[in-house]
């Protein structure tokens, strides 16, 4: 698992990442993956930041690039997403059941599933935070 971002880039440890750091960073750390057969045009964005405080990247998908940025500061997580047009995306935010989720300046109603707050987004550009 990635344990920190050093001056020279990511440092990995453990047997599961050999030969697959790009896939692991895209689908696990940044959290971008397909959620259905390709013709349904659905994605999930569900980051697993572990002890990282900031991570960003562009993930190539069958529907176009997905730009993702995550920044954690205390109990607040800020994010920025750029999603391909025509794609329905489930955004999973690690937060408590009483967490406030703000997207593009507006408070959002979310579903709760365990430690995750979930909302559905259409293609487009989003900034927000959960606290």
pTM: 0.78
pLDDT tens sequence across 16-41: 445 566 767 777 788 898 888 889 99
Average pLDDT over every residue of 49-58: 87
How far apart are alpha carbons 42 and 53 in whole angstroms?
Answer: 27
Q: Which of 50, 2, 54 is nearest to 23 (CA)?
A: 2
Domain-by-domain residue ranges, the chain? 2-130
Residue 11's contacts (CB-CB under 8 Å, 6 or more residues apart) are 2, 3, 4
In this structure, whether the domain defined by 2-130 belongs to CATH 3.50.50.60 is answered with: no
- Helices (DSSP H) in 1-131: which residue ranges? 21-24
pLDDT at 72: 87
pLDDT tens sequence across 74-119: 878 899 999 999 999 999 988 766 678 889 999 988 888 888 889 9
Residue 1's contacts (CB-CB under 8 Å, 6 or more residues apart) are 12, 13, 14, 16, 17, 50
């Amino acid at each position: 698992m990635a344990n920190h971002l050093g001056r020279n880039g990511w440092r990995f440890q453990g047997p599961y990442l050999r030969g697959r750091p790009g896939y692991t960073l895209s689908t696990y750390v940044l959290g971008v993956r397909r959620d259905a057969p390709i013709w349904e045009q659905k994605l999930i964005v569900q980051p697993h930041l572990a002890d990282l405080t900031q991570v960003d990247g562009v993930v190539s998908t069958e529907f176009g690039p997905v730009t993702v940025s995550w920044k954690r500061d205390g109990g607040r997580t800020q994010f920025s997403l750029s999603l391909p047009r025509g794609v329905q995306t489930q955004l999973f935010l690690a937060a408590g059941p009483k967490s406030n989720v703000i997207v593009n300046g507006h408070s959002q109603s979310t579903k709760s599933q365990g430690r995750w707050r979930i909302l559905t987004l259409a293609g487009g550009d989003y900034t927000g935070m959960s606290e």
